[in-house]
Amino acid sequence: MFRFQEPQYLWLLSLVAVILALFILAAYVRRKRIGKIGDSQLVKQLIPDFSPARRVWKITLVSLAIAFMSLSLARPQFGSKLKDVTRQGVEVMIALDVSNSMLAQDIKPNRLENARKFIERIIGKLQNDKLGIVVFAGDAFVQMPITDDVRSARLFLSTISTDMVPVQGTAIGKAIDLAAKSFTKDEEISKIIILITDGENHEDDAVAVANTLKEKNILVYTVGMGSAGGAPIPAKKGGGFLKDRSGNVVMSVPDEKTLQEVASATGGIYVRAGNSADASDKILEEIGKLQKGEVMKQNYSEYDDQFQLLAIFAIVLLIADVIISEKKNAVLKKIDIFKEKDK
């Protein structure tokens, strides 16, 4: 892998073009002036020690020196290898409810957007940990397999919507069971499921599933989205709110009791996300108390600097430019590597 550590210095390469342009302009002006003095061949005989070829060599050396120095300052580097880095961390699976009830606006702008902010705060604090995401409604799916690249979770998070799961409902039991199966087999590392939902479980016995997770030493932290009084569910088509068969507006009321029981069954905690900052801080505080195991990461972390040789070339070229005179050297006249062919 190749990179420039300080790429801002590459703009200095433009100086080479400027210098060459000025050199060509100066040569043109000089030729014009000599033409006004008299015949160019006669003028050349009057200044026999002057060598136009040497002047071209000198400007070439200076230009190359500036180019090499610019590249040197930009610090070209090559990645030597993919390095394994072992750090202490935990494994976290986030189970996010994407059912239509998460569109309720009892917390602004709606429950799902607040859940997204909550997860972003969690992601921002997880540095040496592994993270995965499960989305669920009436069914559950792995949105992002567990990985140590927690930053990539933001990409997956940005695509989450209530249209992801075609089967409506809130199957909390399926969600935490799938999340539990998504962990690695490393038994020495703490495993946590963060369940984010309004808690209206209609599909299964979430508490019974949670009891099985306790035997596997998997903690479930539950996060309740929504106010105690609940809110109507916005209709996706035609505006207004969802209604039941009798024509009554459907109210989505968070089931805090179920969420508390699920968390308690595994030894976890329940928080209400009325304020996503306070709720995430409580969850992170609990995660910080857990036993951390070794989390293996692979990074291109070793880069070898290659600027030294370029800097040496630049210095050698500048020294050569100083040594070479625009006038012919009496000692080297017989050799004259800059010899111009007589016309």
Q: Measured between alpha carbons, how far is 100 from 236 in angstroms, rounded to an integer?
A: 9
Q: Where are the domains of the chain?
A: 2-79+303-323, 91-291
For tokens 């430019």, the residue is 321
The closest alpha carbon to 172, from 142, 144, 209, 146, belongs to 209
pLDDT, tens digit, 9 for 90 and up, residues 321-341 = 888 776 665 554 555 554 555
pLDDT, tens digit, 9 for 90 and up, residues 93-138 = 999 999 999 999 998 889 999 999 999 999 888 877 889 999 999 9
Q: Measured between alpha carbons, how far is 133 from 129 in angstroms, rounded to an integer?
A: 14
Q: Is residue 142 pLDDT above 50, yes or no?
A: yes
pLDDT, tens digit, 9 for 90 and up, residues 190-201 = 999 999 998 776
* φ, ψ of residue 289 in degrees (nearest 5): -85, -10
Percent of the chain scoring above 70 in pLDDT: 81
CA angle 34, 35, 38 (to 5 degrees): 90
Query: 91-291 has which CATH code?
Result: 3.40.50.410
Half-sphere exposure of 201 (CA within 13 A, CB side): 24
Q: Is residue 255 pLDDT above 60, yes or no?
A: yes
Q: Is residue 248 pLDDT above 80, yes or no?
A: yes
Residue bearing the bigger pLDDT, 88 or 143? 143
Do residues 279 and 288 make contact, with C-beta atoms less than 8 angstroms apart?
A: no
Q: Rounded to two decimals, what is the model's pTM?
A: 0.63
